Chain A
Amino acid sequence: MILLEVTNTGNVSTVLFFGTIGMLALTIGLIVFIIFHQRKVIRYQLKLQRMEQDQQKLLLNASIRLQEEERQRIAADLHDDAGPLLATARLYLNENLVNLDKTTQLQSIYNAKQIIDDTIQLIRNISHSLMPPTLKNFGLESAVNDLFQKISGSGSMNASSRFHDYRERLQAENELIIFRVIQELVNNILKHSNASFVHLTQNTSGSKFFIRLHHDGRGITQTDFNKLNKSNVGLGLKNIQSRLKVLHGKIFFEKDMSQTYYKVTIELVKEEEGKLAEQD
C-alpha cells in the first residue's frame, strides 16, 4: 500500500516515467541477455560436437590403417614363409619325377612331406592368430589362458592370468572384442615395456566387469594415453579405444600406489543375461 500513496503530482510523474523506463530497460536487457547467452551455449555445443566428430574421424582412420597393416602382415607371412616352403616342396617332388633311384625318391618325398607339415603348421598359426579357435569353442577365459601360456612358454616374460568370476560366458562378438583388446595391450607390453612379468585378473563387481593387467615394466599413465590418442601416432591405442567404445567400456592407465608396477583396468557394464549393456 506504501507504493500507492502519493505525495504530489510532480513526484508521481517522475516516478512513473523513470519507473517505466527502468522496467523497460531491465526487460529488454534480460531478453537480449537470454538470446546472446543461448547463442553462446549453442556455439559451444557445436564446437564440442565438431571435436567429437574429429576424434571419431581420427579413430576411424586409425582403424582403417591398422586393418591395412594387418593385411600386409598376413600377406608378408604367406609370401615370405608359406610361399618358399611350398616352392621347396614342389622342387623335391619335381626331383622325384626325374630321379628314378628309389632311395633318393623316398628321401625327396620324405623331405617334401616335412616341408608340407611345416607349411600346414605355419598356416595354422596364421589362422589362429587371426581367429583363435579356443576363443570360439571354449570362451574368453580359455583363450586368454592359452595366450598367456604361449607367452610364458616363449620365455620372453612370465605371463599369468586368473579369472575370478566368469561362470557365464559373454556374447561371442563381445568376447572377441575383449580378447583383441587384451591381445593389443599384451603386444604393447611385449614390444615397449621391457617387463619381466604380466598378470591378468578378471573380476565382477555388481553390474560391472573388470579386467586388470599388471606389469613391472615401462608403462603409460592416463595422461599419456589421452595425449597419444589425440595425436597421429599410437594406432594400437586408438584401436583399443574404438573397440571399447563399441562395448561402452572404459580403460584406465595408472601407476600403482607403491610405484612398482603399472596397471591397466578395463571396465565394462554387464547386463543380467550375461550380455554387455547396449546403450542408445
Chain B
Amino acid sequence: MLIALLAFFTEILPIVFYLIFLKRNRGEGLWVIFLYCILSVLTEILAGILRLPIIVDFYNIVQFTLFSLFFYFSLKDKRFKYIPIIGAVIFYVIAIRNFSNTGFDSFSLSLASIFFIPYCILLLYEQMRDSNIMIVYTDKKFWIIVAFFLYFSGTLFLYIYINTLPKDQQSNYWSINNFFEILKNILFCIAFIMKKRDKSEYSIDNLNPDI
C-alpha cells in the first residue's frame, strides 16, 4: 500500500518540475512526456474511483501513442522513421481487438513493452552516434529514454505473467510495477530539472581550434 501511494505521489512530481522549469524544457520535445505524466495521473485517479479494467486498456493505447510520438520526433535518421509507424499499426490492431472490460489486457501491455525496449535501444544508439552530443548523459532525452528503458525492461515479465497469477497474489507482484514507476518518475524529474544543454559549448566541432 505504501509503495502504491509513493508511486502515485512520484507521478505528480514530474508534472510539477516540468512546470517549474518550463523555460529549460521548452523546445526539447518533452511536451509529449509531460502529457504522458498527466495521463498517468488521471488514469490512476480514474482507475481508483471507477475501478474499470477498460481504463487501463485505454491508458495503454494512449501511452503507446505518446511514446511512439516521442520516439518518432527524437529519431534523426530518416531511415528509422518507419519503425514507429509500423509498430503503431501492429499494436493498434492487437490492442483494439483485445479491448474489453473483462480484465487486464496482459498481452497488449507485454507487446507494448516488447516494442518499447528496442525503440529505447535505437534511440540510445542514435544518441551515441550524434556528434553534437558531447557527453550522452548531459542530454535530457537520455534520461527520458533510460526511464522508459528501465521501466519496460523491469515490468516486461510482470505484464506477461500477471494474468496467470492468483488474484490474491497479483497485488503483491504489482509492487514491482510500482517500484519501477517510482524509478521512472525520478528519472523524468532529473530530465526536467537538468539545465538545457548548451549546444555550442559541447559540440565536438567547437573543440577544434583554428590556429
B72 adjacent to chain A (CB < 8 Å): no
The contact string, 1 if C-beta is below 8 Å from chain A, for chain B 125-159, is: 00110000011110000000010011001111110
Q: A23-B156, A38-B128, A38-B136 are in contact. Are A46 and B207 (CB under 8 A)?
A: yes
A97 adjacent to chain B (CB < 8 Å): no
Are B153 and A26 in contact, CB atoms less than 8 angstroms apart?
yes
Are A30 and B128 in contact, CB atoms less than 8 angstroms apart?
no
Q: How far is the CA of A49 from the CA of B96 in the complex (A)?
A: 55
The contact string, 1 if C-beta is below 8 Å from chain B, for chain A 43-56, is: 00110010011001
Stretch of A9-17, A152-160, A173-181 contacting B (4+ beta carbons < 8 Å) = A9-17
Give chain A's interface secondary structure class.
Answer: helix
Are A31 and B149 in contact, CB atoms less than 8 angstroms apart?
yes
Interface size class of B (residues with CB under 8 A): 20 to 34
Residue ID in chain A nearest B151 by CB atoms:
A27
Which among B136, B157, B176, B208 has the greatest number of chain A C-beta atoms within 10 A?
A: B157
Q: A16-B173, A20-B158 are in contact. Are A42 and B165 (CB under 8 A)?
A: no
The contact string, 1 if C-beta is below 8 Å from chain B, for chain A 148-190, is: 0000000000000000000000000000000000000000000
A37 adjacent to chain B (CB < 8 Å): yes
The contact string, 1 if C-beta is below 8 Å from chain A, for chain B 5-38, is: 0000000000000000000000000000000000
Are B208 and A49 in contact, CB atoms less than 8 angstroms apart?
yes
Residue ID in chain A nearest B125 by CB atoms:
A34
B200 adjacent to chain A (CB < 8 Å): no
Residue ID in chain A nearest B157 by CB atoms:
A19
Q: How far is the CA of A41 from the CA of B150 in the complex (A)?
A: 25
Q: A4-B163, A9-B169, A15-B157 are in contact. Are A34 and B207 (CB under 8 A)?
A: no
A3 adjacent to chain B (CB < 8 Å): yes
The contact of B161 among A16, A24, A28, by CB within 8 Å, is A16
Q: How far is the CA of A88 from the CA of B160 in the complex (A)?
A: 107
Q: How far is the CA of A31 from the CA of B209 in the complex (A)?
A: 32
Q: How many pairs of A and B residues are in contact by the CB < 8 Å rule? A: 78
Which among A3, A6, A15, A52 has the greatest number of chain B C-beta atoms within 10 A?
A: A3
The contact of B164 among A4, A34, A45, by CB within 8 Å, is A4
Are B164 and A42 in contact, CB atoms less than 8 angstroms apart?
no
A:41-91 near B, CB below 8 Å = 41-42, 45-46, 49, 52-53, 56-57, 60
Q: How far is the CA of A3 from the CA of B146 in the complex (A)?
A: 26
Q: A34-B124, A38-B136 are in contact. Are A45 and B161 (CB under 8 A)?
A: no
Q: How far is the CA of A20 from the CA of B150 in the complex (A)?
A: 10
The contact of B157 among A9, A23, A26, A34, by CB within 8 Å, is A23
Q: A4-B106, A4-B107 are in contact. Are A42 and B150 (CB under 8 A)?
A: no
Q: A12-B161, A38-B128, A42-B135 are in contact. Are A60 and B154 (CB under 8 A)?
A: no
A:75-130 near B, CB below 8 Å = none
Are B124 and A53 in contact, CB atoms less than 8 angstroms apart?
no
Q: How far is the CA of A49 from the CA of B164 in the complex (A)?
A: 58
The contact of B153 among A3, A23, A52, by CB within 8 Å, is A23
Q: How far is the CA of A20 from the CA of B204 in the complex (A)?
A: 38
B83 adjacent to chain A (CB < 8 Å): no
Residues of chain A with a CB closer than 8 A to B154's CB: 20, 23-24, 27
Are A57 and B211 in contact, CB atoms less than 8 angstroms apart?
yes
Residue ID in chain A nearest B209 by CB atoms:
A53
B45 adjacent to chain A (CB < 8 Å): no
Residues of chain B with a CB closer than 8 A to A27's CB: 149-150, 153-154
A39 adjacent to chain B (CB < 8 Å): yes
Residues of chain B with a CB closer than 8 A to A42's CB: 134-135, 204
Interface residues of B (CB under 8 A from A): 106-107, 110, 121, 124, 127-128, 134-137, 146, 149-150, 153-158, 160-161, 163-166, 169, 173, 176, 204, 207-209, 211
Q: Which 4 A-B pairs have the closest CB atoms?
A: A19-B157, A6-B164, A27-B153, A23-B153
Known: A4-B161, A15-B157, A49-B208. 14 other contacts (CB 8 A): A4-B106, A4-B160, A5-B164, A9-B165, A12-B165, A19-B160, A23-B154, A26-B153, A27-B153, A34-B127, A34-B128, A38-B135, A49-B207, A57-B211
- Would you mind naming 13 contact pairs between A and B with Cβ atoms under 8 Å apart? A4-B163, A4-B164, A12-B161, A20-B155, A20-B158, A24-B150, A27-B150, A30-B149, A34-B128, A34-B136, A35-B137, A42-B134, A53-B211
